[in-house]
Structure 1
Amino acid sequence: MFSIGEFASIGRVSVRMLRHYDEIGLLAPARVDPHTGYRSYQGSQFAVLGRILAFKDLGFRLDEVTRMVHGGVDERALHQLLAARRSELAHQLDLDAARLRRLDARLRHLEGEPLMSTIATDLKPLPAARVAQASAVAQGFGPENITPIIGPLFGRLAGALDDAGVSFGPESLAMYEAIESGAGEEVRAYAAFPVGKHVGEGEGFSIAEVPAVPLAATTVHYGSMDTIGESWEALHAWIEENGYELAGVCRELYVVSEPEEQQNWVTELQQPVAKAQGSRGPNGA
């Protein structure tokens, strides 16, 4: 038998953590002295502790670890949990890699290089559109907040339109607005499909008129939504470098999306702009 201090030292965890594991039913000591309350552990429990630490290292919550360690999931369910966690980690790696590229671009900009101004950009008006839309709240801007919200939102909207017998697609539109109430960090995301004049509101969607925009800077993003932030930053850099300023809520027009794989998606980024005061416009014009 090992005292709690010995077991903690050999197992490379803190005594406080072992006590917490006991409290939540994750790893109970083999024996508790009824008079002193001292905890003792058996050598065979090091294997259990090792599994706990391995699953924790993979980022699982303690309630998930408890189920996995104590047989609350079968082999198939365990495989599904591990596969899902792998997908989460891969997604986070993509986001971090995109952030690293943007950070490198900022560093190069400080060293005198233009900030990603080589993208293909068009200046054009945006027509008005009548859309069926649904909305949901994200915890902020950026792919890490928007991506988990906007995909399911489009799915629910498409289902509601199907149920109502409304034809839509293939193009779709997303818009994002900051929410002023509360902490001021939340964003309302809108998923929308253009529809005809005869379509009225139904269960799960409303009808809105998206106004025309006299002038917008646009560029095309190809592929995954995980890296769309880079394209947005490139577009904003072009706007600043060419003598324009932001003049309205941005839009994303999905030209090619579901059911295609994301690497095949085509998304037009649309940012309403106006000529900045004292600016001569692109290329000094």
Structure 2
Amino acid sequence: MFSIGEFASIGRVSIRMLRHYDEIGLLAPARVDPFTGYRFYDGSQFEVLARILALKDLGLTLDEVTRIVAGLVSDDALHALLADRRRALAVQLDLDRARLDRLDAKIRQIEGVPLMSTLSTELKPLPAVVVAQASAPIPGFGPENVSPVIGPLFDTLYANLVAARITPGNHALAMYEADAENDTGARAYAAFPVAEATASASGYTVTEIAGVELAATTVHRGSMSTIGESWEALSDWVVENGYHLSGPCRELYLVSQPEPQENWVTELQQPVVRA
């Protein structure tokens, strides 16, 4: 038998962590002295502890780890859980890589290195369009807040339209606005063009997105993780060329799923007026 201090030292965890694992039913000691309350562990529990730490290292929550260790998660469910975790981690890696690129660009700008943009900007009106749309709250603006929400939102909307035997238009549209009911959050809208006679139903609302007299537009190619850089470049162009922002931005997906993101083509649309 090992005292809790010995077990913690050998297992390379804190005593406080072991006590917490005991409290939540994740790893109970092999024996508790009825008089002193001291916890004791046996050698076989090092294997259980190692598995717990390995699962935690993968980013799983303690609740998920507890269910896995208790044998309450099937092999198929575990596979799905790990696959979901991998997808989330891949998205975060893309976002962090894009943030690192933006930091490097800012540092170069401070150092006096001119920024080279390959984006081509066009001014044009945006026609009104009838769409079926769904919305969901997001923690805020920026790819790190938008990406985990907007993709599943489009998937659900598309499935609902197909189930209703509605053929959506080819080019999906996304919009974002501050959430009036949540001071710190925002709201994402996923939309597909539909015929004017289409009726709203459970899971989506049919509405007309008003046209815009003038918008600055550019094309972003590739992953959504780097779209923030393209938006920043477009905003800089608007200011440098004597315009003001005049309405919420839009993203028109010219090429998207089922293509891999590196092949995506997205038109960024920013309503503007002359300064």
TM-score, normalised by the number of residues in structure 1: 0.88
The offset of 1:230, in angstroms, is 1.9
Which runs of structure 2 are paired with 1:90-239 in the superposition (5 Å)?
Answer: 90-115=90-115, 117-182=117-182, 184-239=183-238
Which amino acid counterpart does residue 157 of structure 2 have in structure 1? L
Is the partner of 2:133 in helix, strand or coil? strand
For residues 191 and 37 of structure 1, do their structure 2 counterparts lie closer, same or farther at Cα, with a shift above 3 Å needed? Answer: same
| CA distance in structure 1 between the partners assigned to 2:239 and 2:157 by the alignment | 35
| CA distance in structure 1 between the partners assigned to 2:254 and 2:269 by the alignment | 12
Which amino acid counterpart does residue 177 of structure 1 have in structure 2? E
Aligned position for 2:7: 7
Higher mean C-alpha displacement, 99-108 vs 113-122: 113-122
For residues 210 and 27 of structure 1, do their structure 2 counterparts lie closer, same or farther at Cα, with a shift above 3 Å needed? Answer: same
Deviations 1:155-192 (A, max 9, x none): 2322333343333211121111111333x122121122
TM-score, normalised by the number of residues in structure 2: 0.91
- Consecutive unaligned residues of structure 2, counting only runs of 5 or more, are none
- Consecutive unaligned residues of structure 1, counting only runs of 5 or more, are 277-285
Deviations 1:51-92 (A, max 9, x none): 211211221111211222233334444344333322222221
Amino-acid identity (%) = 67
Higher mean C-alpha displacement, 192-201 vs 61-70: 192-201
For residues 246 and 115 of structure 1, do their structure 2 counterparts lie closer, same or farther at Cα, with a shift above 3 Å needed? Answer: farther
For residues 164 and 88 of structure 1, do their structure 2 counterparts lie closer, same or farther at Cα, with a shift above 3 Å needed? Answer: closer
Aligned position for 2:78: 78
The offset of 1:106, in angstroms, is 1.2
Which runs of structure 2 are paired with 1:35-46 in the superposition (5 Å)?
Answer: 35-46=35-46
| CA distance in structure 2 between the partners assigned to 1:160 and 1:74 by the alignment | 30
C-alpha contact (below 8 Å) 1:135/1:190 kept by paired residues: yes
Higher mean C-alpha displacement, 162-171 vs 214-223: 162-171
Aligned position for 1:265: 264
For residues 234 and 38 of structure 1, do their structure 2 counterparts lie closer, same or farther at Cα, with a shift above 3 Å needed? Answer: same
Which amino acid counterpart does residue 234 of structure 2 have in structure 1? L
Aligned position for 1:282: none
Is the partner of 1:248 in helix, strand or coil? coil
Which amino acid counterpart does residue 230 of structure 1 have in structure 2? E
| CA distance in structure 2 between the partners assigned to 1:204 and 1:82 by the alignment | 29
C-alpha contact (below 8 Å) 1:116/1:237 kept by paired residues: no
Aligned position for 1:251: 250
- Aligned length, in residue pairs: 275
| CA distance in structure 2 between the partners assigned to 1:26 and 1:145 by the alignment | 32
Is the partner of 1:226 in helix, strand or coil? helix
Which amino acid counterpart does residue 134 of structure 1 have in structure 2? A
Is the partner of 1:200 in helix, strand or coil? coil
| CA distance in structure 2 between the partners assigned to 1:161 and 1:47 by the alignment | 50
C-alpha contact (below 8 Å) 1:128/1:209 kept by paired residues: yes
The offset of 1:31, in angstroms, is 0.9
